């Protein structure tokens, strides 16, 4: 995760993720935008929501948004108001995608076996 400021990408976005990347930074938080979006008493909660949202993209392994909740593309005044009292939640569909994505990662990180049953490194031999 990287905290960036003054980055001229994705106008209006508070962060972005690269869920398909295999190396490098996958989550970028545009901290100056978070700071300028929220009143001081909400800044920490907003930062947490942005971090969770972008982590959701990486764990799901896809670039999609939900109609409501934590994975909504653009939060509105109602969403910011809710953040003041309770965290926004992942939808049931997002929870399923995260569980599938984590299972996929777990499977791909298991050592592969050769024909004799000996462990070998994943990737090209």
Give the count of beta carbons closer than 10 Å to the beta carbon of residue 20.
11
Residues 3-21: what's their mean pLDDT? 91
* C-alpha to C-alpha distance for 27 and 22, rounded to whole angstroms: 12
> Is residue 43 assigned to a domain?
yes
Q: Does some domain include residue 41? A: yes
Instruction: Please say whether the beta carbons of 9 and 18 come within 8 A.
Output: no
Domain extent, residue 10, equals: 2-110
Is residue 115, in this structure, part of any structural domain at all? no
46-104 pLDDT tens trace:
999 999 999 999 999 999 999 999 999 999 999 999 999 999 999 999 999 999 999 99
For residue 1, give every residue at least 6 positions away whose Cβ sits within 8 Å of its Cβ, in sequence order, or none. 25, 26, 27, 28, 29, 51, 54, 55
Check pLDDT > 80 for residue 106: yes
Under 8 Å CB-to-CB from 119, ≥6 apart: which residues? Answer: 111, 112, 113
Within-domain flag for 121: no
Domains contained in the chain, number: 1
Task: Report d(CA 69, CA 110) in Å as an integer.
Answer: 33
Do the bridges between strand 112-113 and strand 119-120 make them parallel or antiparallel, or are there none, so unpaired?
Answer: antiparallel
Q: Is residue 120 part of a domain?
A: no
> Does residue 39 belong to any structural domain of this protein?
yes
Residue 8 lies in a domain: yes
């Amino acid at each position: 995760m990287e905290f960036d400021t003054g980055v001229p990408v994705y106008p209006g976005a508070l962060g972005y993720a690269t869920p398909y990347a295999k190396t490098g930074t996958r989550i970028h938080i545009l901290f100056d935008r978070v700071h300028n979006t929220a009143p001081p008493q909400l800044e920490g909660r907003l930062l947490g929501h942005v971090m969770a949202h972008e982590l959701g993209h990486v764990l799901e392994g896809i670039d999609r948004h939900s109609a409501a909740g934590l994975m909504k593309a653009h939060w509105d005044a109602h969403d910011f108001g809710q953040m003041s009292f309770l965290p926004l939640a992942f939808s049931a569909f997002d929870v399923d995608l995260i569980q599938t994505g984590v299972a996929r990662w777990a499977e791909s990180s298991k050592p592969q076996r050769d024909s004799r049953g000996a462990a070998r490194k994943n990737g090209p031999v």
